[in-house]
Structure 1
Amino acid sequence: MNANATLLSNEKILELFNLEHHQVQKIDIKGQSDALNVYITLQVEEQTCPICESKTSTIKDYSEKKLLHSLVTHIPCYIRYRARRYKCTTCNKCFFEHNPFAYRNMKITQLTVYNVLNDLKSPHETFTTVANRYRLSPTTVSSIFDSHVSVSRQKLPAYLLIDECYAYHSDRSDYVCVLIDAMTKNIVDILPSRKKQDLVAYFSQIPLEERKGVLGIGIDMWYSYRVVAKQFLPNAFISVDRFHVYSDLMKRIDSIRVDTMKKLKPPKNWKQTEDKVKRQEYYKRDQQYYLLKKFNWLLYKNPKATTTVKDKKYNIFDPNVPKQRNKKLGKFLNLYDIIDLILQTSNGLEDAYNMKFLLDQFFNESKAENAHENLNTLIRVMAQSRVASIVDFSRTLGKWKNEIVATFNKVEKCTKVTNKKTGETHYEVSITHINSALIENRNRIIKQIKNNASGYRNWERFRNRVLYVLNEDATYRINPIIKTTYDKGLS
């Protein structure tokens, strides 16, 4: 390929190699069945000595460098660059000319580095999948990421969410502690432990003025979070999201269900029992066991949920829903009938299930003005339950009373809205409550990052990857981070 003709008529080609017209002396592209080779020689330019900073144009010799380039991915692409070595006439130092293709001491081009970093922005990618795409080793991709990505902690927001996620195993903990801005959805930081002493050490390093700016905090029912929040966030109200309250009650209901199943499960060979009375009893127990095992999900279903039967929508527990024959039970039933049969298997299960409706009523009908009084009433009713675990749950509600009431606190949310037609942006203010739905979504993605890679061993790399993926404004550094010997020792 003629160099001048290529430079004049195909300047777009030069852009693919991070070059401009005046930089290139010669370029030749040779396509082969197994690779694409691009031979490049740069123009002779005056160079600056890296030692004494003198100017020199004295060329000592040439050396061909082979750089992997990600211009295409279906076949390997290499830049074969004829690099000049210059000699300083002042200090006699020999050095290579500056090249626009690659960073110092690297055998891959800058474009390849940028493509690797852009691909790692997706939670679906791993270091191995990206390495295979660009014909690199996973170690090289990890090194590129470590050299270009270092995400700092964000400033504590006005409304903070704290939760743990089972995503990183270490000697100190199996959980990471996730801090999220409730309004912007950005992750403020993640910590390798949720233990009290580790949280104290972390927040004690943050200036008091910054901590005073936190006005509200949403947590789950982990006592260490409450203790640390009261100690280090003096101006924040503490809120326990209703999801975690429901979760605690659901675990207790499920425990009652499992205990009931163990009592009802008939012997393996019950059908061979000669005693007709006992066989009839075992038959009934077998049906009840089947209901508790097959339809246990109905115990946790929202009563406002809907179901579609013959293209018509019904409330899930509407008694008028058309019935279908259940082969095991030998009856025509709908979900209303099935939940009724399930509750008949145990008085304790029925009592606990009814308490779930009282909890629904509390959250749906209470407001900030009467939530405290309504919660006290709910606690008194649950404390009189015949089921020990429900009585214990009433004590839990009493211990977290103030934090549950705080879930009804209203906060202002400022949202940035962009007009798709004009491109203009403005901010809209709305009233909302602090809830954990956002942090549960982020936890899911954090687990996905961990599971896709079959786990991480390097904490800093895992932390940077999570922040890099989940924060839209997190980006990579154009120039690699140069670590000193001291920094390497610390890492």
Structure 2
Amino acid sequence: MNHFIQKTFQLKDPNITIDMDRVEEQHYKGRLSLFYFGTLTYVPKACECCGIVNDAYQVVKNGTRHSRLTLASITGLPAYLNLAKQRFKCKTCGQSFTAKTSFVDPHCFISKRVTQMIMDRATRVMSEVDIAKDTHVSPNTVRRVIHQAAATLRIRPTSSLPEHLCFDEFKSVKSVKAAMSFIYCDAINHQVVDVVEDRKAGSLKNYFIRYDLAVRRQVKSVTIDMYEPYIQVIHRWFPNADIIMDPFHLIQALNRELSQYRVQFMNTIRTKDRRLYNKLKRYWKLIQKNPNDLKATTYHRFPLFDWLTNTQGIVDYLLAQDTQLKATYQIVHQLGDAYRTNNWPRFESTLIQAKQLQLPAGLRRVLRSFKKYQTYIHNTFSYPGLTNGPIEGINN
């Protein structure tokens, strides 16, 4: 039945669940109307505020926010969906955000199906007032939808660009030949500038060449992930721009290698030392956790440990079981702490120190990339407020 309702409403978002036992008839705005009830929730891939990837449950549920969404009319009656949207809170940055859905546009309370109905009627000889009556919205809403649709048909100006840009990519839609499309936004106000259907260097060259050199010279910085074609494009077409490596991609790469080596070490002791294997499996989050957040003063009983200990003691014990795990842990968290404290000399010295250590192949590969892009990572420390977090949030 829930599938039937979703088909009726053209509700393509699988994260929305309709309460099938609750449909109410209420008088709203002087008319008998149908009210449906549903919930929107999911596990976010990343924090929309700071961009940190939610791979260790850094983003938690934090209540709900209710919205009344306008649906297409049913049997001639206005219909609405009272949607309880999940709220999330990021433990890293402390910011909160609300679950997003493709059923409505951001900050909008009218379903996309109703918006499509308005645009369809706008192609006929109908007044805005008549369209508003048909779709159960206000004439101002009809006017706004028409103006927004007209704006998408205008040729975008090429006379200006923001001083600070963010470059990123996202999976293309089926109608686009390229596997990944390109999106870029203003790094300061987080407004999307434009979308290009292909992220390859040739396509970006053809796109940015439309801007005069004087306009491109005004760009001061571009924040990117470690994607080589972006670097080539920026050097060629933005001669005055500093390239900034997105810090969250750097930290994510480090944390991923620490996690992968822990799993690799666990697999070597799976049958030899089952108790140690279980400890590593149970307390893996403590190894990934910022060492400054571990407790070292109060002692408690913990499962799998026969003595009183604390979270710092658990980590110390686990690291003592393998020298390479300990070295990996120290390098990863030293680099992470250097970024959090914006301490470039410490970050640079840690990279030099890492050359003398026996580290896993995966981490060595990541550190070689850091060395290759060291100049751009230095810019990350010089522009501490600029990240790809906003555009990652838009993509996610």
Q: How does 1:54-73 map to 2 (within 5 A)?
A: 73=73
Query: 1:434-487 CA deviation, whole Å, 9 max, x = no partner?
Result: 12222222222xxxxxxxxxxxxxxxxxxxxxxxxxxxxxxxxxxxxxxxxxxx
Which of 181, 187, 190 is the equivalent residue of 1:185?
190
Q: Work out whether 1:377 is the aligned partner of 2:339.
A: no
- The corresponding residue for 2:131 is 110
Which of 297, 304, 307 is the equivalent residue of 2:285?
297
Segments of 5+ residues of structure 2 without an aligned counterpart are: 1-29, 35-69, 79-120
Distance 2:235 2:305 in 1: 55
Amino acid at match of 1:105: R
Q: What's the offset of the Cα at 1:298?
A: 2.1
Distance 1:404 1:151, change over 3 A: farther
Distance 2:225 2:211 in 1: 22
Q: Work out whether 1:435 is the aligned partner of 2:392.
A: no
Distance 1:233 1:76, change over 3 A: same
Q: Is the 8 A contact 1:212 1:234 kept in 2?
A: yes
Is the radius of gyration larger for structure 1 or structure 2? 1
Distance 1:375 1:337, change over 3 A: closer
Q: Is the 8 A contact 2:172 2:178 kept in 1?
A: no
Query: 1:57-109 CA deviation, whole Å, 9 max, x = no partner?
Result: xxxxxxxxxxxxx999575169xxxxxxxxxxxxxxxxxxxxxxx64537894
- The corresponding residue for 2:24 is none
Q: What's the offset of the Cα at 1:191?
A: 2.3
TM-score, length basis structure 2: 0.60
Which of 298, 307, 327 is the equivalent residue of 1:321?
298
- The corresponding residue for 1:397 is 370
Segments of 5+ residues of structure 1 without an aligned counterpart are: 1-30, 36-69, 79-101, 121-140, 267-281, 305-315, 411-431, 445-491
- The corresponding residue for 1:76 is 76
- The corresponding residue for 2:216 is 211
Query: 1:249-291 CA deviation, whole Å, 9 max, x = no partner?
Result: 122212211211221212xxxxxxxxxxxxxxx4xx2222223
Amino acid at match of 2:282: K
- The corresponding residue for 1:93 is none
Distance 2:335 2:376 in 1: 15
Q: Is the 8 A contact 1:319 1:334 kept in 2?
A: yes
Q: Work out whether 1:356 is the aligned partner of 2:332.
A: yes
Q: Work out whether 1:334 is the aligned partner of 2:307.
A: no
Distance 2:317 2:138 in 1: 58
Q: Is the 8 A contact 1:221 1:240 kept in 2?
A: yes
- Provide the secondary structure at the position in 1 that maps to 2:386: coil
Distance 1:216 1:353 in 2: 32
Q: How does 1:211-360 map to 2 (within 5 A)?
A: 211-266=216-271, 282=272, 285-304=273-292, 316-326=293-303, 328-360=304-336
Q: What's the offset of the Cα at 1:375?
A: 4.6
Query: 1:41-61 CA deviation, whole Å, 9 max, x = no partner?
Result: xxxxxxxxxxxxxxxxxxxxx
- Provide the secondary structure at the position in 1 that maps to 2:210: coil
Q: Work out whether 1:200 is the aligned partner of 2:205.
A: yes
Distance 1:239 1:116, change over 3 A: farther
Query: 1:386-408 CA deviation, whole Å, 9 max, x = no partner?
Result: 01333333321211111011113
Distance 1:203 1:104 in 2: 34
Amino acid at match of 1:439: I
Query: 1:411-438 CA deviation, whole Å, 9 max, x = no partner?
Result: xxxxxxxxxxxxxxxxxxxxx6312222
Q: What's the offset of the Cα at 1:240?
A: 0.7
Distance 1:366 1:221 in 2: 20
- The corresponding residue for 2:88 is none
Which of 345, 358, 361 is the equivalent residue of 1:386?
358
Distance 2:72 2:222 in 1: 48
Bigger mean CA deviation after superposition, 178-187 or 291-300: 291-300
TM-score, length basis structure 1: 0.50
Q: What's the offset of the Cα at 1:247?
A: 1.5
Distance 1:289 1:73, change over 3 A: same
Cα root mean square deviation, aligned: 4.0
Distance 1:205 1:116 in 2: 40
Distance 1:178 1:292, change over 3 A: farther
